Structure 1
Amino acid sequence: MAKKSRTKTREAHAPGEVGPRQPCPCGSGKRYKACHGAEGGAAVYVARPFEGLPSECDIVALRELVPAATAPLTVEGTDRPVTLCTLLPMAAPAMYRDSGQVWLGLQVQHNFGDPSRDLAAALQLALAADEPGVIGLTDPPGEGPRLQDLVADDALTITVHDGFDFWVADVENKDDVAAALEQANAAANPTARLTQVEAAYWTNVGTKEHLRWVMPEPEDQLLDALARLHAAGDDVIVDGARLVGMFRAHGLLAPVWDLPVGTGPEPLEDPAAEFKARLDTALASDEPLTADERSARSGLANRQVTIR
């Protein structure tokens, strides 16, 4: 009698659909069938949660790539000062400070599927708080507003910090938090935002320097354009730099260049602007990819790492 095949029948799924055994695109690290694809699992997953915000690319960078940065946030219907922060003490979702300020944290421990709605829920709780303190978010926010519904349609003015001293800028007695602050500062890699292009950040991780640049274009279109430049040798930012791959986060791609140690952010300014001009030209091309460009595209696609 013939042996039964040990190969299980694989469930078919439509192009672009997440298979049950694939990693869940929410970034939890679980398989899809055990996370957003599970019965009773997380109720929602939004692939591009910050779409429509003028500083979408910077918000993604601050949430995923930048250790310490802040930006004033204009919230409709309140005159209370609100600051958007990369990370707050204890990874708190929000804080209502003794100074009367509200701080909203991007780098948090919870993940309810739509970071924009999570941020809006934490912001509303902080604005409604009667006493200073940490604002937690332990339950899904439900069908409330999203961040896009609460903030003014203005681009963010971002300040990148050397560390987390901004945590105690409005605190009189800093001794109580000195140890925690020292530990947090030690873990913050030097980072700078370029000024001539949007959402491009230089960072020094000790043994290497990188340029990480969050871009708004649709993934397929951006990969085609990067492949054209790569095949032509036009994707080099500065001498010795190399496009090594890209992150995928919240529906956007962030190409990453390795830089020669000692480069620093200032020498990247003009070359980054020149690269952006070349990229725009490549994005506008509707010519079919050549064999070399298709090969370059395949190589770039294989060097993507999904963060969220």
Structure 2
Amino acid sequence: MDKKKKKALVIGGATLLLLIGLSIGAGLYMLDFSLRPVNRGKDMEGSMAYMRQTYPHIVPWIDSLTRCQALRDTFITAPDGIRMHAFYVRAPQPTAHTAVIVHGYTDNAIRMFHIGYLYNRSLGYNILLPDLRYAGLTEGNAIQMGWLDRKDVMQWIDAAPHIFGDSIRTVVHGISMGAATTMMLSGETLPDYVRCFVEDCGYTSVWDQFEKELKNLFHLPAFPLLYVTEWICQLQNGWNFHEASALNQIKKCHKPMLFIHGEKDDFVPTRMVYQLYEAKPQPKALWIVPETDHAHSYRNYPEAYTEKVKAFVMPCLSNETEIGN
């Protein structure tokens, strides 16, 4: 081999190594950007101030719970040793009806108190509001985008009878990433007392959501960066963006699900809910909320939202209703 060919091979090899190194560096940055952002979900005081300002009608309820020491904390430990936190509130009157309420990306349990108000104050249910990993008082070194969270919520579901009594009948209600968690959860084998689900503006899969964000925020295609980032996520967290699919999970769910999505949602595009609704076997219902962007359906239409949820959930939680998995 002559010197020119050797030089070309060396340059080509060095260039390849440089590109690989840059891709891995960019992938590490993107994973931190996505799963370890500056996290408002860790700001408990700021979250409470936000809720009081944004949903003033729930403030008397929050203050009453605080005065009566009815807003309580509980902790459980995940199989991998992560200490997980949740708030819970018993119903005003003893009831089997219970809601497990799952928060969204960079949020925490406090930022779901408006949905807690809906179920506890408006409908008279027990409520359980977990902090997902890397949020609130729950440990963890990264957001898990719903995929590992589904197992944590399953553990909270198993804990619910010990908190509220063995005869509970449960709805799981999530918003945004919490909605994706709810749908991912719905494809698992769950206790009979889990009767139905409400998902509000959840995404089809982590891959789809990250691909959309990569294009919108950075004007980049999926290849090669998203593939490299997915590979790093698999190494770091034990899951990848494709397997974290609400769309695949709900195909296995035969319990009732209410789909809610804002008509003008451009963060989790409204088109996603039509794919999800089509994939879900019956029974199901869909509400496209007019003139509403991401995760603001209850804020914009609190009375209509409450009535839609009540009309869907109440028959599912009635003692006479028999629902398969």
TM over 0.5: no
TM-score range, shorter chain: under 0.3
TM-score (norm 1): 0.24
Indicate the structure with greater helix content: 2
TM-score by length of 2: 0.23
